[in-house]
Copies of this chain bind each other. A is one copy, B any other.
Amino acid sequence: MSSSATRKRAAALGDTMLALGHDARAALASLAAADGDKRSEALKAAARQIRARSDDILAANAADIAAARERGTAGAMIDRLLLDPERVEAMAAGVETVSELADPVGRVLAEWDRPNGLTIQRVAVPLGVIGIIYESRPNVTADAAALCIKSGNAAILRGGSESVLSSRAIHACMQDGLVEAGIDPNAVQLVPTTDREAVGFLLSSMAGLVDVVVPRGGKSLVRRVQEEARVPVIGHLDGICHVYVHADANPDMARDIVLNAKLRRTGICGAAETVLIDAALAAQVIADIVAALADAGCEVRGDERIAAMASPVTAATEDDWSTEYLDAIVSMRVVDGVAAAVDHIRRYGSGHTESIVTDDAVAAREFLESVDSAIVMHNASTQFADGGEFGMGAEIGIATGRVHARGPVGAEQLTSYKYVVRGSGQTRP
């Protein structure tokens, strides 16, 4: 393309994005005027639309899938992209679940009086306009839109180019739900172009229009966001999750948790990638755990002590300890005590989710206090790291940053607050 054509295209993209931003800000007033019941009504109507137009959504998805196959897209990606009648129904049910949550807006988070007679309340308010950048899963369109509407925020959604037709079909249902409830449909907008530059523009040139960006995707997206963002980000990194089988673990429980944490679904960020086994229990449990993993089709990459006690085990390299496989592969290491397990996690973990299996309350407490991850668990599978499993109805992702929200990001986490101060004429001495 000529440089003049490139400039024209960039200018047109900028105009499109700025228009989305201005329309989203205008929609905030409509969202603010709608009370919690109206916002719930919009979600119920959107869920009805998703069910009623299931065939349209599936047809759009079939076209996305056909295009992806034509490009030679890998099977795991096709599975993430694929919708079927059950998945569409689950999407509608998810939107309904969010509609039934308590209104996160207007909650009085704290309230106190001052000696001078002022009363102070901290009250939850929407964040404002939220930009959400995600990849191939089309259901994120429904989940993210539902959580934003529930929490009174306007959403600018930027889905993956692979799922563009599916996302458009779902987005139309969400907007129709808003219209049915009398709310400005610009409260949920979908970036109309698949141009990669749109992401850059959203990250860097929309300060004042977009209040926060939520990236949900793999390492390359996260890296790009860190480099380019000029607006606040609710950050997500990869999930290198650990299960630590302590000396006093119940061997059956340990095996069941390791298998579930690794293999229930290997492609989610809460899937375990590394299993740490305490030296004191290793001889007793390793052969059994490795055999169970192998039977279930999982490759085990172990350190020398693991390899000496079980098979089949391939040799782990240093890189394995910091690799998020998202696949039926697990790294496994013998550690000497809680402190060594915590050290390994501090060095190689990503601050997402770690679990200890033990019957020893003191060891559990030490682990839960010392491991500085968004989610720490005792005697539970890391696969529970999920907004739905936490009772939040849905999630927009699992935040591993420390600012604003950490862990599953649901409707409550998409609010800010303001202070309301009531007096009777007080002036400050």
Could you list which residues of chain A lie within 8 angstroms of chain B, going by C-beta atoms? 32, 112, 114, 118, 120, 122, 125, 127-128, 207, 211-212, 226-227, 230, 232-235, 250, 253, 256-257, 259-261, 264, 368, 370, 372-381, 383-384, 389-391, 401-404, 406-407, 416-428
Contacts and interface: CB of A to CB of B under 8 A. Distances in A.
Contacts of A257: 425, 427
Contacts of A128: 402
A423 B372 contact: no
Contact of A425 (B230, B256, B372, B422): B256
Nearest to A235: B232
Given A391-B114, A403-B416, A416-B406, A256 B376 contact: no
Contact of A428 (B125, B211, B383): B383
Given A380-B426, A421-B376, A423-B378, A226 B207 contact: yes
Given A233-B232, A401-B232, A112 B391 contact: yes
B423 A377 contact: yes
B407 A404 contact: no
Nearest to A390: B120
A390 B423 CA distance: 13
Q: How many copies does the complex hold?
A: 2
A216 B375 CA distance: 32
A384 B264 contact: no
Nearest to A355: B421
A401 B403 CA distance: 12
A402 B211 CA distance: 7
B127 A403 contact: yes
A416 B402 contact: yes
Contact of A402 (B127, B233, B260): B127
Contacts of A378: 420-423
Contacts of A425: 250, 253, 256-257, 379-380
B114 A427 contact: no
Contact of A230 (B120, B226, B250): B226
Name the 8 nearest CB pairs between A and B, nearest first: A380-B423, A260-B427, A232-B403, A383-B428, A402-B416, A253-B425, A404-B404, A377-B421
Contacts of A256: 425, 427
Given A256-B427, A416-B402, A380 B422 contact: yes
Contact of A368 (B227, B372, B389, B420): B420
Contacts of A233: 232
A421 B118 contact: no
A120 B386 CA distance: 12
A212 B403 CA distance: 7
A87 to B, nearest CB: 17
Given A390-B419, A403-B403, A379 B426 contact: yes
